[in-house]
Structure 1
Amino acid sequence: MEILSQYGLFLAKIATVVVAIAVVAAFIVNLTQRKKQRGELKVTNLSEHYKALQEEMGAALLDAPQQKLWHKEQKKKLKQEVKAAKASAKKGIAAGDKSRVWVLDFKGSMDAHEVNALREEVTAVLAVVKPQDQVVLRLESPGGVVHGYGLAASQLQRLRDKQVPLTIAVDKVAASGGYMMACVGNKIVCAPFAIIGSIGVVAQIPNFNRFLKGKDIDIELHTAGQYKRTLTLLGENTEEGRQKFREDLNETHHLFKDFVHSMRPQLDIEQVATGEHWYGSQAKEKGLVDDIGTSDDLLLGLMKDHEVLNVRYLQRKKLLDRVTGSAAESADRLLMRWWQRGQKPMM
């Protein structure tokens, strides 16, 4: 009996140690996960990438003896560059004195959750930007919720307020809320068949009241405030509620038009704010964009006189976020297909 008692006490001690170790390990993992979830900035030198690509293509066209000689020359050139960089550092010549183009990317979904990364990227650029620098945003979005894209446009407004030249490059689509972002730029460049415009607001709400009545199901909706709810999913909608809902849509549209016109005062806002969209060449004729071209050609042209750097804020996601995020992306792709078949985005 005594042996069993001692054995039980021994097991209890072991269990206590194991639990303590597990708690400490869980605490460490939690701290690590929190640190990862904060995200990190990734800066890629696009100028160096393009230069290396150009050199590799040139070398691929040489025969074997020439390639061998080319590789020797590259090693020699690299040593000279390192030596020159060290000499400049000793003289106090800062490498950051050259003009830079900071490249950001925004591929927007319906809820515009990408604004979380955009605000970090804009903040990072503003922390180091020089008077001779500029920013290029590669934008792709069919629009979405009003408050989300309003915040995204406000993040870009921070650059404009600090007198940082901002160019918006659109290869595929910048419509509705996407165009709200684009018009903040000092200059808009888009591909010939990019979709531009759709300055309008839309909302649709299904109503199941008649179906529920047929099943003898009553819905009670109690509100404090005459217009706390105008239209509902389940209750019986009134003409007064519909009228108020339309007034709210028109007011949002009015604010949208005012914002676009304040950014691009040369626009005939009443002519272009009809909810229609246009292709790049047509959009240029109407003054919605400034130049026709792809983001690739824009950046290659800037590389001649500037160092071009891509800034991305990467945030690690939990497993659940990855699953739900993938589902959301699939829904966005489906909505995009519908929109391309004639449906309009919310904003």
Structure 2
Amino acid sequence: MTTPTTPPPAAPANSSKGSFKKGLGWFVVILLALFAGSALMGRFFGNGEFDGREKIALVEVTGVIMDSGDIVRQLSQYRRDDEIKAIVLRVDSPGGGVAPSQEIYEEVLRIRAGNKKIYTSMGSMAASGGYYIACPTDRIFANPGTLTGSIGVIMAFSNASELIGKIGIKPEVIKSGKYKDIGSPTRAMTKAERKHMQKVSDDVHDQFITAVSEGRGLAMKAARKLSDGRVFTGRQAMNYKLVDDLGGLEETIQQLAQAIGIQGRPRIVVEKPESSLLEMLMGARMTESLETSLWPTQLPRLLYLWLP
């Protein structure tokens, strides 16, 4: 007589679920390890941080120059970094405020004083303040069709006195000093005020001409002759000795690497700016267009700016 066998007890449902979760966890861990290993190998043997190639920093100046803080910070950081062998200043700008342009210019001079080479690569436009920050660099490269030059100063005021009169508003101003409200939109500028502001503009213009003369090794007379606000193509600017060579960003990098003795292609270090929500929604170029289109409505300021 055979004794009936008792079937083995069924595995608890929770046990099978636990095994699945455990297996899934190990799969994720292995996947992450493979990804990290791949990234690390890429850094050692590819384009990454530890690939052994010498570094050249790329600092990008795009759009209207109204704040120098971030550009000066990058240039100063790379000036102090011994691992950065040289710097490329990539300019695609119509210029902007006088003071921000001068602050960037001064930082470029500090880089050159520290015996670290800095070349400029001009994009589609490097005019007015965009040219101002380029002129003290060791070498300037422009594309044949780059718009550059526009060596001049502009300061715009709005006179809305007729409109104010039509809508029945009568402004009253209390001031100490007869020039305190120069440029007020509520009245026309007097001859004495216009003469004074012209002197201010001329002085800032002379500062620009001096920067061009010293940066490009031109006589003041020659620099002044080119400083009437005209724009030039890259090819024309080269004929006038405002730029040194024709070529794009890649040519600039290759020539700079060769000048400092780097064999092969250097590693390019570039800091990507964080995009604001407005830039992500509308696109960076559109926000730049908005900024430039609104500049006449802002408070009057001295500008190294080409904006037809």
TM-score normalised by L of structure 1: 0.62
> Equivalences for 1:108-147 in 2 at 5 Å?
108-109=63-64, 111-113=65-67, 115-129=68-82, 133-147=85-99
Give the Cα separation in 2 of the matches to 1:346 and 1:246: 20
Contact 1:202 1:346 in 2 (8 A): no
Give the Cα separation in 1 of the matches to 2:216 and 2:140: 11
Contact 1:100 1:307 in 2 (8 A): yes
**Which of 279, 288, 291 in structure 2 is aligned with 1:329?**
288
1:292 aligns with 2:246: yes
Q: Mark the CA change 1:325 to 1:292 in structure 2 (over 3 Å): closer, same or farther.
A: closer
> Equivalences for 1:204-243 in 2 at 5 Å?
204-243=156-195
1:142-193 residue CA offsets vs partner (Å, 9 max, x unmatched): 1112122222222322312212111000121111000000102110010011
Q: Mark the CA change 1:211 to 1:333 in structure 2 (over 3 Å): closer, same or farther.
A: closer
Deviates more, 1:174-183 or 1:242-251: 242-251
Letter in 1 for 2:196: K
1:100 aligns with 2:55: yes
- Aligned to 2:192, the other structure's residue is in SS state helix
Give the Cα separation in 2 of the matches to 1:166 and 1:96: 23
Q: Mark the CA change 1:96 to 1:259 in structure 2 (over 3 Å): closer, same or farther.
A: farther
1:171 aligns with 2:123: yes
Q: Mark the CA change 1:152 to 1:195 in structure 2 (over 3 Å): closer, same or farther.
A: same
1:87-141 residue CA offsets vs partner (Å, 9 max, x unmatched): xxxxxxxx798643222211132x433x3321222232123235x9211111111
Give the Cα separation in 2 of the matches to 1:332 and 1:293: 29
Letter in 1 for 2:306: P
> Equivalences for 1:216-295 in 2 at 5 Å?
216-266=168-218, 268-295=222-249
Letter in 1 for 2:198: R
Letter in 2 for 1:245: M
Instruction: Flag the structure with larger Rg.
Output: 2
Deviates more, 1:229-238 or 1:171-180: 229-238
Letter in 2 for 1:229: D
Give the Cα separation in 1 of the matches to 2:307 and 2:288: 17
Which residue number corresponds to residue 310 of structure 1? Answer: 269
Give the Cα separation in 2 of the matches to 1:287 and 1:187: 11
**1:287 CA drift (Å):** 0.5
Give the Cα separation in 2 of the matches to 1:324 and 1:245: 38
**1:288 CA drift (Å):** 0.1
Contact 2:63 2:288 in 1 (8 A): no
TM-score normalised by L of structure 2: 0.69
Give the Cα separation in 2 of the matches to 1:325 and 1:220: 43
- For structure 2, the 5+ residue unaligned runs are 1-37, 296-304
- For structure 1, the 5+ residue unaligned runs are 1-74, 83-94, 337-343
Contact 1:118 1:313 in 2 (8 A): no
Which residue number corresponds to residue 185 of structure 1? Answer: 137
- Aligned to 1:314, the other structure's residue is in SS state coil
Deviates more, 1:142-151 or 1:211-220: 211-220
Give the Cα separation in 2 of the matches to 1:228 and 1:309: 50
- Aligned to 1:129, the other structure's residue is in SS state coil
- Aligned to 2:56, the other structure's residue is in SS state strand
Give the Cα separation in 1 of the matches to 2:186 and 2:231: 34
Contact 1:195 1:280 in 2 (8 A): yes
Higher helix share: 1
Contact 1:106 1:140 in 2 (8 A): yes
Give the Cα separation in 1 of the matches to 2:162 and 2:292: 32
Contact 2:136 2:211 in 1 (8 A): no
- Aligned to 2:154, the other structure's residue is in SS state coil
> Equivalences for 1:18-167 in 2 at 5 Å?
99-109=54-64, 111-113=65-67, 115-129=68-82, 133-167=85-119
Contact 1:230 1:244 in 2 (8 A): no
- Aligned to 2:120, the other structure's residue is in SS state strand
Contact 1:175 1:199 in 2 (8 A): yes
Letter in 2 for 1:220: E
Contact 1:100 1:308 in 2 (8 A): yes
Deviates more, 1:179-188 or 1:115-124: 115-124
- How big is the alpha-carbon RMSD for the aligned residues of Structure 1 and Structure 2? 3.3
**1:309 CA drift (Å):** 1.6
Which residue number corresponds to residue 14 of structure 1? Answer: none
Letter in 1 for 2:59: L
